[in-house]
Structure 1
Amino acid sequence: MRYLLATGLALAITPLAFISLSASAQSLGFPDDYSLMSRSSDSADAASTQPNAQTLDEIVAVVGDGVILESELNQAVARIRARAGGRADQMPPNILRSQVLDQLIMQRLQVQRARERGIEISDQEIDAGIGRIAQQNNMDMQQFMRAVAADSMTMDQLREQVREELLVSKLRRQEVMSKVSVSDEDVDRYLENQSLRNAQDREYRVRHILLPVSEGADSATIEATRDQLEALRQQIVDGDTDFADAAASYSKGENALDGGDMGWMQGNYLSRTFRDIVPALSPGETSDVFRDSQGFHLVQLEDVRGRDAQNQPKVMVQEVQTRHILLKPNEIRDAERTRELGSQIRERLEAGDDFAALAREYSDDSATANQGGDLGWVQPDQQRLDPITRRQLEALSPGEVSPVFQTREGYEILKVTDRRERDQTREAARDRVRRTLGEQKSVEEGELWLRKLRDEAYVDVRMPGYQSSNGG
C-alpha cells in the first residue's frame, strides 16, 4: 500500500523529479520518491528487520536544525528492499543505506528551506492532494482510508507527509521553475535536429508552390506576396482549391506544370529550406507559409515511406471570429445602470446599428474598442475565457448577436462573424517540444539547485560506513 501511496503522490503532485539516484541505484530500478518513506508509525517493526536492532533510536544524520533517526532510515531501506525484491541483493547493503540516507537528507533540507521561505500549505490543499492519491490508486475516499488504516498508518501521518511534499513542490516552483524558460529559438533548434534524425531512411512525396521575391523588393511587395500565398493556403486548407491546381496556376517553381509535384525525395537529401518543414508534416497536411532567400514557399506532403515512417494524427481546432462590447460598472455608473445601457445598445443592434461603431463608442475594453471590438479568432475550448462567454460563443452562429450577459468584468455583448476549423498540427508539435525542453531544463536546474542546497547546509552524517553518493 505505501508503494502506491508514494507513487500516487509523486505523480499527482511532483511530476518532475529533481532528485537523481546514482547509476548503481538506478540500475536496480529504485524509485526516487523516498520523501514519503521518511516517517511512519511502525518504526519499531522496521528497525527490527535489521540485524543487531537496538532499542535506543540513534541519530544517523544531523540536518540543519533537525535530525534523521536510524529507525527512519531502516524503514526507508526496508521498503526499498520490498519493492526491488531480489534486485536489491545486487547492491552492497552499506551502499544502499548510504544512498537512501542521501535522499532523506535532501528531502529534509528542502522542507526546512520551504519553511524558512514562509511557504504554507492549507488544509484544503492537503485534502486535494490526498484526493489525487486516492484517485491514482483507483479508490474512493472510504476505500482509501480503510487501506491507510490497514497499513498501520494514521490519516494524521499521511496528511503530514502530503504537507511536506506540497511544501517541496511549492519551493521548487519558486526557486527552480521560475528560472526555466524555453525560447522559440530553442524549439526551432530541437525541431531541426529532430527533423534531421527523422529524415534518415525515409522518402517523402512533396508538392510545392513558390512565389519568388526579388532581392531588392520593398516591404510592400514582400507583404503583398506573403498575403497572396497565405490566402491561397487558406483556400487549400478549407478545401476550396486543390493544391496541385493552385501550384499549376500560381507557382513559379520548376515543378509548377506538374502541379508542384517534386516526386519522391530521400529524407537525408532534403534541402535546408525543407529540412525542418517536411518531416514535421503528416500525409495530406499543408505547411504554413515560410520564406527563404528565393521567396515564399508552401508545401504539401503527399506521402511518406521507409523505415520509421510516422503518420502523426492531425490536430484540428475550432475557432470563432468575434467582436464584443464590454461595459464595466464604475463610480459614475453602477451595475444596474450599466446593465440598462447594455439593453439599450442591444436594442440598437436589433434595429440595425453597426456593431463595430457601437463598440468604438461604448465599449470599456481599451484593447479592442478602437478596432470595433474585434477579438480576432479565438478558441473557446482552449483560451481562458469566462465560462459564460464560452457558452455564448458556442451557441452563436455567424452573424448572430448574443443577449446582454454578465461576466466577472461587467456586462458583455458578443457577435460571431465567422467559424472555422484550423489545422494546428504544427503548433501542437511545437507545444510538445516546448514541454519536453522545459522538463529537461527543469531537471538540470533542479539538480544544480539541490547540489547548492546541500553544499550550503549544515549536514553531519553519523551513520557508520557511510559512502556519499553526492560527491561529498
Structure 2
Amino acid sequence: MRYLLATGLALAITPLAFVCLPAAAQSLGFPDDYSLMSRSSDRADAAPAQPSAQTLDKIVAVVGNGVILESELDQAVARIRARAGQRADQMPPNILRSQVLDQLIMQRLQIQRAEERGIEVSQQEIDGGIARIAQQNNMDMQQFMRAVAADSSMTMDQLRTQIREELLVSKLRRQEVMSKVSVSDEDVDRYLENQSLRNAQDREYRVRQILLPVVPGADTATIEATRDKLEALRQQIVDGDVDFAEVAADYSEGENAAEGGDMGWMEGDYLTRSLRDVVPTLAPGETSEVFRDDQGFHLVQLEDIRGNGALADQPKVMVEELQTRHILLKPNEIRDDERTRELARQIRERLEAGDDFAALAREYSDDSATANQGGDLGWVQPRKQRLDPVTRRQLEALAPGEVSPVFQTNEGYEILKVTDRRERDQTREAARERVRRTLGEQKSVEEGELWLRKLRDEAYVDVRMPGYQATGGG
C-alpha cells in the first residue's frame, strides 16, 4: 500500500549561506565502492565496515558531506516503478534512474541544509505525522501498524525516518522560502482587475445607480458636501439600514431614479468608461465605493452577472456574525483564582437581576482593549475567527439578548452577551482570499524552483552513476 504524508509544503527563497567547493568533498576521500553497514553510512564520518563481513555497495553520487548508494537508488527506482506501473516501464531505464537519482540528490541536499540550520523534528511531531497518515487511510493506530507490518516495502522504522526527513524539508522550506513570499492587497487588486478586463466583454451586468450631479464650476465646498452626502448614504446601505433601490428612488438624480436606479442588463462592451472601471470588480449584491466622473458622484450596486466566467456562477459565501459584549476577569497577585471566580459569579447574579452589562464591563472587566467600550467586541465571526473553543461554543449557543453563564478560558473567567445576529455576504472577500492563495502558491513555486537550483549550484555534487543523464531535476 502507499502511504502519503500531507505536509502541505509551499516553496519560497532566501540566499544560501554556504558554498561547498569540490576540493572540500574530494578531501573526504570517498572511494568508488562503499561497504554498507546501515543508512547512517551516508555520513562522511561513518566507520568503515570490514569488507569480508559486508556486501560491497557502489556509490552513485557524492552529495555534500554524504553519499548516495546504488542500493538506495535501486530501492527508490523500484518504488517508482511499483507506483507508476506502465508509465515507468515506457521510459528508458537510464533516464528513469537519472530522474530518480536527481530527486534523491535534491532530497539529500535539503536534509543536509536543514541539519546545518539546526532544524529539529521531535518524536511527537513524527508521531503526529504517523497519526495523520493513519487517519488519511481511515485507520486507527493499531490497524495502521498492522498494515505497515504486512507491507514488505517499508518497515515502521523506515516510515518514521521518511516522515522525519519530510518534516525537516518542510520546516526548511517554510524558513528559507515561504517566509519570504508575500502577496499584497495591490497584487490581489491587479489580478482581479486583469481578470475582470479579460472577462468583461463576455458578460452582462444588471446594475443599479445613484447619481448626485455636480454642476460645472461648482465651488469646493459644494463638491465636498455632495460627496459627503453620498458617502453617508452608502454607509447606511452597507450597514443594512436602508435598501439601495429606496435610496436611489429618494435621492438619485439619474434618469433611472424612479425605477430604484435600475439600469437594466448592460453588455460589458457597452459599459461607460466610469462604469467599466468599477462594475466588473464587484460581486453580485456588492455596493461600490463613491466615485466621480464629469456628471458628478456615483454609487452603483451590482445586482447580478450572466455570461462567461460570471461571479454569479460562483458559490455565494454567507458568514454568520454575532454582535457581542464580554466581561473578562483575570486572576492576579491580589485576587486569586477562587476570589476571581466568586466575583464573576456575583457579576452574573447582578446581570440576571437586571444590571446593565456595559456598565458592569466598564467597572470590572480586565480586558483593557474593550472595558472602556462596555466590553464591546463588535461583530464576531465564531466559525472564522481564532477564538478559544469554549468561547466559541458559548457564543454559538446564545440568542440575541441572552447572557452566558460564567465559564473559564485560558485567560480567566468570562461572561458573554450576544446583542444581535446577522448573516453577511462574504463572497467578495472569499474570492479575494482564493486569489491570494493562488498568487501565493504561484510565487512559492517560482521562488522554490530558484532556491532549489541555487542549493544545487552551491553544493558539491559528484555523480558517479554509469549512463547518468542530467534531467533538470536539480
Q: TM-score, normalised by structure 1?
A: 0.81
Letter of the 2:253 partner, please give it: K
Q: Percent same amino acid among aligned pairs?
A: 77
SS in 1 for 2:240: helix
Aligned counterpart, 2:42 = none
| Deviation at residue 375 of structure 1 after TM alignment | 0.6
- Secondary structure of 1:382's counterpart equals coil
Residues 226 and 296 of structure 1 are in contact (CA less than 8 Å); yes or no, is this contact kept in structure 2? no
The alpha carbon displacement at 1:458 in A equals 2.0
SS at match of 1:366: coil
Cα 1:215/1:256, change in 2 over 3 Å: farther
Contact 2:362–2:371 under 8 Å retained in 1: yes
Once the two structures are superposed, what CA deviation does each residue of 1:34-59 show, in whole Å capped at 9, x if it has no partner?
Answer: xxxxxx99xxxxxxxxxxxxx73200
Equivalent runs, 1:157-236 vs 2, <5 Å: 157-211=158-212, 216=220, 222=227, 225-235=230-240
* Alpha-carbon spacing, 1:212–1:395, altered in 2? closer, same or farther (3 Å): farther
Q: How does 1:137-148 map to 2 (within 5 A)?
A: 137-148=137-148
Structure having greater relative contact order (Cα 8 Å, sep ≥ 6): 2
* Contact 1:192/1:275, CA 8 A, preserved across alignment: no
Within the alignment, does 1:346 sit opposite 2:348 as a pair? Answer: yes
Q: Which amino acid aligns with 2:289?
A: F
Consecutive unaligned residues in structure 2, runs of 5 or more: 14-37, 40-54
**How far does the alpha carbon of each residue in 1:371-423 deviate from its partner, in whole angstroms, 9 at most, with x for none?**
22111000011111112221221222222222322211111122211111111
Contact 1:399/1:417 (8 A) holds in 2:
yes
User: What is the alpha-carbon distance in structure 1 between the residues aligned to residue 378 and residue 311 of structure 2?
Assistant: 37
* Deviation by residue 1:229-284 (Cα, 9 ceiling, x = unmatched): 12124438xxx74x4444222333343233322222222444565457544656xx
Give the Cα separation in 2 of the matches to 1:458 and 1:215.
72
Shift of the alpha carbon at 1:459? Answer: 1.6
Structure 2 CA distance, aligned partners of 1:220 and 1:353? Answer: 43
Match of 1:247 in 2: 248
Q: Tell me which amino acid in the other structure corresponds to 2:248.
A: A
Number of the residue aligned with 1:292: 291
SS at match of 2:253: coil
1:451 to 450, 453, 474: 453
| SS of residue paired to 2:469 | coil
State the one-letter code of the partner of 1:107. Answer: Q
Map residues 71-470 of structure 1 onto 2, 5 A cutoff: 71-88=71-88, 91-152=91-152, 153-211=154-212, 216=220, 222=227, 225-235=230-240, 241=243, 243-271=244-272, 273-275=274-276, 278-279=279-280, 285-294=284-293, 295=297, 297-305=299-307, 311-470=313-472
Q: 1:230·1:289 contact (CA, 8 Å) conserved in 2? A: no
Encode CA deviations 1:54-112: one digit per residue, 9 max, x unaligned. Answer: x7320011112211111222222233334444434554433332222111111011111
Aligned equivalents of 2:227, 2:303: Cα separation in 1:
26
1:195–1:276 contact (8 Å) kept in structure 2: no
SS in 1 for 2:415: strand
RMSD over equivalenced CA pairs, Å: 3.0
Q: Which has the larger radius of gyration?
A: 2
Letter in 1 for 2:362: R
In structure 2, relative to structure 1, the CA distance for the partners of 1:335 and 1:140 (3 Å cut) is closer
2:56 counterpart residue number: 56
What is the alpha-carbon distance in structure 2 between the residues aligned to residue 406 and residue 308 of structure 1? 47
- Worse-matched range after superposition: 287-296 or 395-404: 287-296
Structure number having the greater helix percentage: 1
Secondary structure, in 3 states, of the residue corresponding to 1:384?
A: coil
The answer to whether 1:14 aligns with 2:8 is yes
Relative distance call for 1:398 and 1:276 in structure 2 (3 A) is: farther
* Corresponding letter in the other structure for 2:112: Q
Aligned partners of 2:442 and 2:406: how far apart in 1?
Answer: 47
The count of residues paired between Structure 1 and Structure 2 equals: 427
Distance 1:86 1:340 in 2: 72
Return 272-281 or 150-159, whichever deviates more: 272-281
Equivalent position of 1:26 in the other structure: none
1:286 Cα offset (Å): 1.3
- SS where residue 445 of structure 2 aligns? helix
Extract unaligned runs of 5+ from structure 1: 20-39, 42-54
Deviates more, 1:115-124 or 1:306-315: 306-315
> Structure 1 residues 355 and 302, CA, compared in 2 at 3 Å: closer, same or farther?
same
Pick closer, same or farther for the CA change 1:228–1:407 going to 2, 3 Å: same
What is the alpha-carbon distance in structure 1 between the residues aligned to residue 461 and residue 253 of structure 2? 71
Distance 1:113 1:306 in 2: 48
Letter in 2 for 1:106: M
CA separation in 2, counterparts of 1:260 and 1:451? 58
